[in-house]
A = this chain, B = another copy of it.
Amino acid sequence: MGRWEPDARDRLVRAALDLFDEQGYENTAVAQIAERAGLTKSTYFRHFRDKREVLFGGQDELVELLVAGIAGTPESAGPLAAVEGALVAIAVTFTEERRANGPRRLAVIAANDELRERDAMKMAGFSSVMQEALRRRGVPELDAAVAVELGVVALRVAYGRWLEAGGDFAEVARRALDEVRIVAAALEGAE
């Protein structure tokens, strides 16, 4: 494993975030990101499949944790409990460093359509993986879909609150999902 300057990937991520922040995503060329990281365009595309992906690293790890979180919940528990297990399982990835860069990253994504597309796609990917994991436990398709979508709503809420206030993400996520449960139950009564 030959190595020159290590952490090429990290350097690319940092350079990209800085440049996007300074001059906007659209005004930044991939060659420029690579240059600031002391690399070339070729090397950039060896680390990331396209210009957007530099902002969405670590997704594979999240997917694995979500699935493991569902698989690790006792079979006797309902689908919503399994989804809660998934949300708690990804808490290990919500580090302080991630929280520090979170707002900047969110601002960059929100400002650009291409990036919002990729974001929506990632979220849809999470949904789809969790639904499959639930179906493998014998949960009917519609039940799985509803449980997962409620979980995704809770995830969004929890992420926002965690970025603002910090704390243990697992705890924040559990509380958010409880609120979603209550709201979902009340919706029925309101009809």
Q: Does A78 contact B (CB under 8 A)?
A: yes
Q: Does A92 contact B (CB under 8 A)?
A: no
Query: What residues on B are CB-neighbors of A149 within 8 Å?
Result: 149-150, 152-153
Contact B190 A184 (CB under 8 A): no
Query: What residues on B are CB-neighbors of A145 within 8 Å?
Result: 153, 156-157
Q: In this complex, what residue of B is CB-closest to A152?
A: B149
22 contacts between A and B (CB under 8 A): A77-B191, A78-B187, A78-B190, A78-B191, A79-B190, A80-B188, A81-B191, A116-B124, A120-B121, A120-B123, A121-B121, A142-B180, A143-B186, A143-B187, A145-B153, A145-B156, A147-B187, A149-B150, A150-B187, A181-B188, A184-B184, A185-B188
A133 to chain B, nearest CB (A): 16
User: Using a Cβ–Cβ cut-off of 8 Å, how many residues does chain A contribute to the interface with B?
Assistant: 35
- Name the interface residues of A115-148: CB closer than 8 Å to any CB of B: 116-118, 120-121, 123-124, 142-143, 145-147
A109 to chain B, nearest CB (A): 12
Given known pairs A124-B120, A149-B149, A149-B150, the reply for A143 and B78 (CB within 8 Å) is no
